[in-house]
Amino acid sequence: MPRAADERGFTLIEVLVAFTIAAMCLGALFQLLSGGLAGVRGSAAYARATQLAESRLESVGVAEPLIPGTATGRFDDEYAWQMQTEPLPGTKLYRVRLTVLWHNRSVSLESLRLQGGV
C-alpha cells in the first residue's frame, strides 16, 4: 500500500539499519572501555610488584645478611620473588637483583650493598 506524501515515519529496513549501526558503535565502545580497564588493572599490579620489590630489597644487608647465591620466596598467592646476590671482585660490595613475578609478568630491581653495613 503506497504512502501518501504527507505521511512521515521509518520503514522496517531503516529501523534495522539504525539498530545495526548503533550495535556496532556500542560494541566498539565496549571494547575500548574494557581495554582501558585492563590497562588500569595491569598498571596497579605493576605498581604493587615494584613496591613489594623495593620493600624486600630494603631489608637485604640490613635486617638479613648478604649471602651469595639465589633465594626465592612468596609475598602472597599472587606474587613471588627471586633474589640473586653476588659479590663484586676486589670490593666489599654485593650486587643484589630482586625479581618479582606474577601472572607471567615480572619486574626486576637491582642494588649495590656494602658488606657489614648500610
For 69-92, what is each residue's pLDDT tens digit?
A: 999 999 999 999 999 999 999 899
6 assigned to some structural domain: no
4 assigned to some structural domain: no
CATH number at residue 100: 3.30.1300.30
For 54-74, what is each residue's pLDDT tens digit?
A: 999 988 888 888 899 999 999
7 assigned to some structural domain: no
1 assigned to some structural domain: no
User: Is residue 97 pLDDT above 90, yes or no?
Assistant: yes
Structural domains counted in the chain:
1
In DSSP notation, 41-100 reads HHHHHHHHHHHHHHHHHHHBTTTB---SEEEEEESSSS-EEEEEEEEPTTSSEEEEEEEE
Q: Would you state the pLDDT for residue 32?
A: 77
Task: State which residues form the domain around 21.
Answer: 12-114
65 assigned to some structural domain: yes
